[in-house]
Every structure is written in C-alpha cells, then in structure tokens.
Amino acid sequence: MSTDESVTAKAVLQTEKDTKAPSRAHASSPSTARRSSSIASHNVFLSLVGLRLVNALTTRTFFQPDEYFQALEPAWHWAFGEGGGAWITWEWKNHLRSAIHPAVFGLCYQLADFVAEHLTLQGPVRSEVLLAAPKTLQAFFAATADFYTWRLSSYIYGEDSTASLATLFLTVASPWQWFCSTRTFSNSLETTLTVIALCNWPWNWTLPHGRNRDAGNGHHDNQRSRTRDDPVVEKVPADEVTRLRRALLCAAVATILRPTNILIWMILTFLTVVRKWNLTGLSWTECILFLRETVLCGSVILASSAILDRIFYSAWVFPPFNFLQVNVVQSLASFYGNNDWHYYVSQGYPLLLTTVLPFTLIGLFRALSSKDAYFAQTPPASRNALHSLSIICLLVPAAFSVIAHKEVRFIYPLLPALHTVTALPLASFFHALTTPSPSLRVGKRLVLLLILSLNLTISYYITQVHNSGIVDLTHYLRHEFETVYLTSPTPSNMTIGMLMPCHSTPWRSHLQYPPSLTHVGIRAWALTCEPPLNLNATEKSSYLDEADQFYANPSLWVKKHMSRHPPQRKGGNIRPSGSVAGILAAPNLHGKIDTIPTDILESERAEQFWLTGGNKGRQPWPDYLVFFTQLEPTLQVILRGSGYGECKRLFNSHWHDDWRRHGDVVVWCLDPARQQELKTAPAGRDARSRIGMEEVEDAIHDPSALEDIAPGQKILGGDGAATKKGKKARENREADDRKKKPFKRVVEKPFWKVRDPGD
C-alpha cells in the first residue's frame, strides 16, 4: 500500500477517535451514553423504515416470477384457501419449499383482510389494501436488513466512525437494494436473517485469551479482560449467550428458507470455532456452549418448521432435503437456464455492487492480506471479522459456481458483508473532501457526484421503466373488472388468456377477485412451464413445456388446444363469457331432440373448463387476450376474422434478453366499445406501433418483409421460402396470379373452420 493511502487510513481512524472522545467526556454516566446511542439507533431505524416504505410502494416493475409464485401465491392460498384462486406451482406440489415464508405473508394477508372487513372496505379499496399489505411487510424486512448492516459495520469500525456511516450510505444508495430489497423473494428475507446473525456472531472468540475479548473491537461498554489463567473463563457472560442464540436462531431460519445458506455458517463456524480452537485456545466451556446452543436452536427451528409444513402441506415433509435433491443432485434447476462458470464474477458482483465495485475489490484484497498496513489501525477483533467476511464472500460464490443454474439473487445474502468490507476503502478515499487541498476536494467531489448520479439513474430506470408494462397490465385488467364487470346491470365473470412465456405476470396477488358461487370474479389461464420431473435422460433431452410448444409453432398449438368456436364480439345474442348456461338438450313435444345453439353449447364447455381447473376440454377464448408485441403479427394471421380487436397497449421495455418478451404488452378484447375507445384515441406511439393487415399478409409469404416496418418482429411458423420484400413481392404475386388460367380464388379458412380427422 502507498504511503499516502496509509496516512489517509490512519487519518480516518484518528478522526473517529477524536470524534468519540468528547462524547465520552460529556457523558454523565455509561447508562446515559447507552441511552443516547439507543435513541440514535431508534431514529436511524425509523428513517430506514420510512425510506423502504416509499421504495416498496413506488416500485412498479417486474423482476422475476419467484417474487410472486414462491411467496405471494402460496401466501394467498394460505390466507384464503382453495377458493382463493392462487396459482400453486410444481415446487409447492412437490414439497420443495418451506412454508415459513408464505406463512408470514399469509398472516399478513389475513390481517389486512380482517382490517378491511372491520372497516367495511369493499371493492377497489379492499383490493388496494391487499395489494399494499405484503409490500409494507417486506419494506419492514428491508429496513431491518439496512439497519443491521449498519450495526455490523458499527461493531467493526465504531458506531460514530466514518466507515460505519459509509456503510449506511452504501446500503441506502445501492441500486440493487432499491431494486430488490422490497421484493417478496425468499432471498430478501434470507438476507435480513443472515445480517442479523452476523451482527450477533461472537467475533470476540477469534481473539486469544490474553486479549480483552469482550472489548476486542474497542466499541463496547461491557469490557472484561480475559486471560488463560483467569478462572472466570469457565463462565460465559449471559449477554454473550443471548447474542449467540439470536445468531443461531436467525441462521437456522435462513437455512430452512434457503438450504444453500448453510454454506455461510459452515465456513464461519470453521473460521471462528474449529480453526481458532488451536490458534487462540478456545476454551472447552465456549466449545461446549457453541455445540449445545447450535443443537438447541437448530432443533427448535426444525420442529417449528416441521409443524408449519404439516399444516401447510397436510403431510409430514422435509422441504430442505427435497430442495437439495431436485435442484442440486438432479440439477433440475438447469431446466430454467444454465450460466457460465464465471457468472458470479463477471455478472453477479457487478450487478450487486455497480459503481462501488472497485472499492469492494480493494477492501477484499486488503482484508485478506495479513501484512497490509491499511487495516493496521483497526482493533484485532475487527480485522478478524473483516477477514472472515471476505473469505465467505469469495468461497460461497465459488461453491455456487459448480451449480449450472445461477442467479444474482442467490448471492444476495452476501451484500451486507460486501458493503461492510467496502466501507473503509470508500471512507478513506473520500476523506480528502475534508482536507484543505483544493485539487483533491474538487476531483473527489466529482467522483462522488458521478457515483450518486449513476446510482439514482439506475435505481429509477429499473424500478420505474424496465419491465413496467407487465405490472401495469395487472392493474389495468383489475380496474377493467372493477369498472366494467362489477358495475354491469348483469355482472359476469371476466376471463383472461395470456399467450406469453410462463409466469410473465403476477397472478392472484395482483389480479385478485377470485370467482365463487356467490360472487363474480376474474378467471384467467396462461401458458405453463412444468419441468421434466421423473423423466429419464433421453426424455429430458427432447422435453418441451407448454410455453416452448406454443412458441415452436403457435398456429399448431392454437389449433390443438383452443376452442373451435370462433371468438365473437360481445353484443346481440352472444352470452357473457364465463356465465353459466342453463339450457340442456331435451325431447320436444313431437319426440324430436332440439338442437342446442352453438353459443350455449360453447358456454357449457367453457364452464366445464373453468370448474375443472383447466384439466378438461379445450381452452375457451377469453374476453381479454394478452401477449407481447413480438407475437402480434402471428396472432393477426391466426385470428383474422375473429372478434378480437386491440383495447390497450402498454410500454414494457426498451430491450429484453428474451426474444419472446420483446416490445410492448398488447391487450386484445371482444368488447367493441373498448376497441372503439382505442381507435378514437389521439395518435401516438401506440398507433405507430400497430401493424396493418396488408403488411401481415406480405409477411406470411415473406417473413423478411416485416423487417421494413417492425424490426425484430417475425411471423412464427410462416412460409420462409420467399426472398423478395414488401410491396414488390406482393406485386409479383399478383402478376403471377393473373397469368394463371383458369382463374381460381383460394381462401385459407380460419383454423376453427378446419377439422382434423377424428377431431
């Protein structure tokens, strides 16, 4: 390390000592000092709660399906039962997940519903309460993670130190925290539990008995010097036992939530207990205490989890074993995508840390360097803690890299430790802001301004813009039901079909309004992506889920799975979609069988489909059909002549790594009034993005023709033999047709008029 950097680090630490000295001199007693510290911590926590509430309630973008289908959907099922209409995915049916996480949010839903009922809140108001309830709870969890990240740094660097304030700045200004911490992922709660456990971990056990172990970091009032010959070592302080229990309980819950979290505690146990036993002479009392409390706390959490799982699954199951068996041993998670071995280094850490990644790399290097003078001024316990945290931050991603399926949020629990390691290099670098050197002040102020600007820009874009149409869609559909279906003189069920990649949108947690025998509601179906469970290697290699089958050939999929009754516009004698038909075939007075109208028969079939949970018959055409712009040309060809028309177009993203999700979110409906509203709306981006049927006909014969008017779109399953483009290709076809004798008009029938043999 350079001399200037060493001097800067020492200056930071000396400033911290000078800052703390007056407070000790003016404190009337240790209890007064502790009370002042408690008040300051209380204010910090309340401020963080307020910040995360704003964060949670203003986020309007989609990240990953697990935010809903591994948390809110099973929680909705927990709160409202089988009739709640939640989408329970294969993971829950195969007992892969602990019920702890959905149970927490299920209780939150029940409390919100109780409040709404006693305040007589109905309709849209109750819906908004149920929508905000889990966000509010997750905001509290996120604020708790921020608070304990600051407390962990305060333990290491000192509560009033510049480095601890830098840690607080890092966690508050982090784009990843703003993007992910208030989302209801199990990883988010895992992160909160992990940092609480780290904050209560017995870091003083890493010191030899000859040192002041209880005050090894120099920032605690309960200082008690210990030596090898001191008989008091046979009795561990009660406060230390309480903190250890708190750490072990949180670690156990985090491991039940995400079994891979056990890697953190295996490494930390080795570094603190096993390795230090010989190096520091860890007493037998402490070893026995650690073993006893680990068994006790682990048993309590395991027993509680087993009972909760029994209630949730109605069977005795052990989800952590099933989770590891399916995702690690069978590597079934790779069905949802594989990544390069260096993913966590090349993408994981950059996404977690963004603009402060250089400071993190410096902090990791110097914390692992035993002779580096950078941390020479920090107390021994602090150095040992930073060293252990750095090792964890390197070994855990290395272990996860062996697994084919990788995601950034898998290493999210390491972010508090990374911010703690980053804090001192960051504080030392910007310490020059308080020095009299004008050149250093100006240069580093510009760097600080750049970091803040980039972080704010990234945070805004990923929480307000990118993938916003998917969430806006659920609000639009819910409001359509509230304003059109609920207020109708003859209320009926609203039906929705989503021709999108599986789990592209939130489900019942955002749509809400499950239908029942006494109340109309929202019925919906979507493409699924069940993994190849219980298949051999050969079958797995050729396996295609429903979404893959659809995108491989949309026309064929629609022909095989959708109702052959053509979707017609509402009006006239067309029955409301989803209503119950009560007319059956019966002999008339002349002994002949009356013919049932096709619309009534189709209504009966649709009702059977919904009542059986989509397990019987073809899927009925819904009132609202939803898809991405990428699929629009294909559906215009497949559904030409139907009653569908565009009712809404929602911006979703400027770019996407999944070609199936390119473009806006498009909503077609069968309501002529809604279609007319869009046609009479002022021309804008939506109008420019629509594709005319003439261009679509060109694209059927020449897929490349569509590139002229809508780059990046294509007709899926179309004829790719032609090579000429646009208008010229159409003119050539017309000229060829005129030369043919005799003249014949060939009209391709819509798919619902074509019958397969035996269909």
Q: In what order do the strands lie in the sheet with 665-669?
A: 522-526, 494-498, 624-628, 665-669, 645-650
**Residue partners of 292: CB distance under 8 A and separation at least 6:** none
- pLDDT at residue 465 greater than cutoff 50: yes
Contacts of 117 (CB under 8 A, 6+ apart): none
- How buried is residue 572: exposed, middle or buried, by Cβ count under 10 Å (0-12/13-18/19+)? exposed
Query: Which of 300-309, 322-331, 378-387, 467-476 has the weakest average pLDDT?
Result: 322-331
**Taking a C-beta distance cutoff of 8 angstroms, is the pair 720, 667 a contact?**
no
Name the average pLDDT for the chain.
81
> What per-residue confidence (pLDDT) applies to 532?
86
Q: Indicate the pTM of the whole model.
A: 0.84
Supply the DSSP symbol for 217: T
pLDDT at 594: 54
> What does the pLDDT average to over 132-152?
97
Helices then strands, counting H and E runs in the chain, come out as 32, 5
Distance, in Å, from the CA atom of 691 to the CA atom of 685, rounded to the nearest integer, reads 12
Q: What is the mean pLDDT of residues 306-317?
A: 94
Residue 213, C-beta contacts closer than 8 angstroms, at least 6 positions apart: 204, 205, 207, 224, 226, 381
- Give the mean pLDDT of 268-295: 79
Strand partners, 669: 624, 645
> What is residue 359's predicted lDDT score, i.e. its pLDDT?
96
pLDDT at 304 exceeding the cut of 50: yes
- Angle separating helix axes 238-257 and 284-313, nearest 10 degrees: 40
**Residues across the chain:** 759
Q: How confident is the model at residue 737 (pLDDT cuts 50, 70, 90)?
A: low
**What's the N-to-C CA distance of the chain in angstroms?**
78
**CA distance to 324, 558, 566, 597, 669, per residue, from 644 (Å):** 46, 15, 10, 22, 5
Calpha distance 287→264 (Å, rounded) = 19
The pair of structure tokens assigned to 463 is 């929480």
Percent of the chain with pLDDT over 70: 73
Q: What is the pLDDT of residue 451?
A: 95
Distance separating alpha carbons of residues 271 and 509, to the nearest angstrom: 43
Q: Are 374 and 1 in contact (CB under 8 A)?
A: yes
Q: Where are the alpha helices (DSSP H) in 275-414?
A: 275-280, 284-313, 319-324, 343, 349-353, 357-368, 380-400
- Decide if pLDDT at 696 tops 80: no
Cis peptide before 742 (omega within 30 of 0): yes
- Would you state the pLDDT for residue 285? 82
Greater pLDDT, 660 or 273:
660
Cβ-based burial of 414 (10 A; exposed 0-12, middle 13-18, buried ≥19): buried
3-class DSSP assignment, residue 372: coil
Query: Which of 361-370, 678-687, 699-708 ranks highest by mean pLDDT?
Result: 361-370
Query: Residue 111: what pLDDT?
Result: 97
Domain spans of the chain?
3-58+94-464, 471-478+490-580+597-691
Distance CA 553, CA 532 (A): 20
- Alpha helix stretches (DSSP H) within 466-545: 468-480, 508-511, 537-541
Q: Which of 287-301, 358-372, 568-582 has the lowest mean pLDDT?
A: 568-582
Q: In terms of pLDDT, which residue wins out, 191 or 619?
A: 191
Max mean pLDDT among 227-231, 232-236, 618-622 falls in 618-622
Q: Are 158 and 219 in contact, with CB atoms under 8 Å apart?
A: yes
pLDDT of 756 above 70: no
Q: Which residue in 225, 256, 240, 250 sits closest to 290, CA to CA?
A: 240
Q: What is the 3-state secondary structure (H, E, C) of 116-148?
A: HHHCCCCHHHHHHHHHHHHHHHHHHHHHHHHHH
Q: 505 versus 731: which is more confidently predicted?
A: 505
Residues 6+ apart with CB under 8 A from 170: 356, 419, 422, 423, 426
Lowest mean pLDDT among 382-396, 479-493, 674-688: 674-688
Angle at alpha carbon of residue 117, lines to 115 and 123, rounded to 5°: 110
* pLDDT of res. 740: 53
Smallest CA-to-CA distance from 415 within 177, 653, 624 is with 177
116/446 Cα distance (integer angstroms)? 50
